[in-house]
A = this chain, B = another copy of it.
Amino acid sequence: MTEQRIRDLLKQVAARKLDVAAAVTRLRHLPFEDLGFARLDHHRSLRRGIPEVVLGERKTAAQIAAIGARVVASGQSLIITRLSPDKAREVKRKTPRLKYREDAMLGYVVTKPAPKRGHGLVMIISAGTSDIPVAEEAALCAELFGNRVERLYDVGVAGLHRLTSNLESIASASVLIVVAGMEGALPSVVAGLIDKPVIAVPTSVGYGTAFGGLAALLGMLNSCSSGVTVVNIDNGYGAALAATLMNRVGIAEPK
């Protein structure tokens, strides 16, 4: 612990066991070690009980397994996003505690479950069946981060009645994550119905001028409904983390 080390150092100075020049030299080497951007970050995760999250894509199974082992060894829980079934199998051989959800392309190891925190429910709404992988990435992450989560899937234009017939439940959520591809109009509609933060997640679902999610992204960024903010295409995890922070606004961090 840095603060302790500074305290000790100062005590040594006070006790004349260390002269000023030597203390300055030591302190000079502290700042960056001590800066603790990342350490804070690191500790933050531990403290919050939020699992460490690793992007599985573009990493080899060996790299993932190595990182994963280090994380788990440190006592943290672990989430691996965008993990293909093939790699999942390989990683599992080295980390047998790994759980894998193929529909969400998500692997995870829970060393100790995140305590439930937050004002209320995080609701995950998705437009179509094809959006479910992204929606499930968001939903599973949100659960692993310690939120109560509810799902409302397949409520695009062709099923808007399901949306409206669940309005009460929607209205009971604290934060909403709305996942949609194609023209991405669903977040606007949802945000028009309620007064809660809506995190819009464009998906790469669609073809032609969907341009891999660009049409949905632009639709969401230009939403004329209030309170919509947007994350990267297919970024269910990022939405889940943002929702977690929103769900805890005004709640003091556990010491």
Nearest CB of B to A32, in Å: 4
Known pairs A218-B211, A245-B196; A58 contacts B161 (CB<8 A)? no
**What distance in Å separates the Cβ of A15 from its nearest Cβ neighbour in chain B?**
9
State A182–B221 Cα separation when bound (angstroms). 9
A214 at the interface (CB under 8 A from B): yes
Pair A214/B218 contact, Cβ less than 8 Å? yes
The stretch of A18-26, A72-80, A84-92, A108-116 that contacts the partner chain: A18-26
This chain's copy number in the assembly:
8
Given contacts A183-B224, A218-B215, A231-B221, contact A167 B32 (CB under 8 A): yes
- Contact, CB under 8 Å: A35 / B161: yes
Contacts known (A24-B6, A196-B249); A157 close to B224, Cβ less than 8 A = yes
B209 touching A233, Cβ below 8 Å: yes
Contact A242 B229, CB 8 Å, known A31-B34, A218-B218: yes
Given contacts A34-B3, A250-B119, contact A209 B222 (CB under 8 A): yes
Q: Say yes or no: A55 contacts B130, CB within 8 Å.
A: yes
Beta-carbon contacts under 8 Å, A205-227 to B? 205-227
Q: With contacts A3-B24, A32-B35 known, is A199 near B157, CB below 8 A?
A: no
Q: Can you list 27 A-B pairs, Cβ within 8 angstroms, ordered by A?
A: A10-B27, A31-B31, A31-B35, A32-B161, A32-B164, A35-B161, A37-B193, A38-B158, A157-B224, A157-B225, A182-B222, A183-B183, A183-B222, A185-B219, A197-B249, A199-B229, A207-B235, A208-B222, A208-B233, A209-B218, A214-B218, A215-B215, A215-B222, A226-B241, A226-B245, A230-B230, A249-B249
